[in-house]
Amino acid sequence: MKNAFVFPGQGAQYIGMAQDFYDNFDIVRSIFEEASDITKIDIKKIIFNSTEEELKQTVNTQPAIITVELSIYEIIKREFGITPYLAAGHSVGEASALYVAGIVSKGDAFGIIGKRAFFMEREAKKTNGKMFAVLGMKDETLNDYLSRITEGIVVAANYNTIGQIVVSGDEKGTKALLDLFEKNNERIRTIELKVSGGWHSPLMEGAYNEYSEFLDGIEFHNSMEIKYVSNVSGEYETSGDKIKKLVSRQIISPVLWTRTMRKMVEGNIQNSIEIGPGSVLSGLMKRYDRSINRINIEKISDLEKLKEVL
């Protein structure tokens, strides 16, 4: 049986996520402590005893999500002994996939995200970027619109699934795009996302430069037994050196999640197991291809779902 382990990104977080895992497993409490030591953030406090406003600050959100994802993953590995055929993560979740695929150590996964969050939040305060979901438009159509924008900055940030793309940019660029949609009477929906920056766009160039320098000091191993799909290329990547470059570029490049799901379909994946808060990725897969069984694991009770299919 072929399983894919997929890990969600920023936006899926909520206060109290993984509380039952933390309360019932020593290994989870240990992982929370390790993450806190490395990132210098009190992960337990942020997740269980803060406010939604504090949790959604990028510098807190990203380490918190990765901590939850890797905690649940370790329980799945221990309780079921399963190894995925493929590992992939959406944006922030890519760090979890790097660890699962054996490309980086758990400690380095936390270190990578701690620095990533710091650099991105700092850059966001300088650039005041925005992000919008565009629903009901084909990729090619949106790309054509983007090519016609001549003022400001606006780019495709996430190709999430069929008919769902997120754009990112500054106020001038995003307004120009929305005005062009209106001028052409496009029958689509646009939703402004509640984010603090223009992620996956040229607005993150400053963060990208420093993040790249930081990653130079991190050891990336070749991907061997578990297939790893890069956000940036949408392809299987095996070279540790190349993966390192792609991980750094991810900050300023679109997340090609639709291509990731295509890889899952082409690889005859039977179960897409979403590990972490929420079920966003399961929803995207449902829209893309319903032939793949979708399971999301965010609570201890969800482990019963695995027992039914393994």
Residues classed as catalytic = 91, 200
Cα–Cα distance for residue pair 253/199, rounded to 1 Å = 9
| Tokens (6 digits) for 292 | 């793949």
Cβ atoms within 10 A of the Cβ of 277, count?
Answer: 23
Q: In the beta sheet, which residues pair with residue 293?
A: 271
Residue 273: name the closest of 247, 300, 302, 301 by CA. Answer: 302
CA distance 151 to 175: 10
3-state DSSP assignment of residue 301: helix
d(CA 61, CA 10): 7
Please name every residue paired with 135 in a beta bridge, in sequence order, or none if there are none: 164, 189
- Is the distance from CB of 219 to CB of 104 less than 8 angstroms? yes
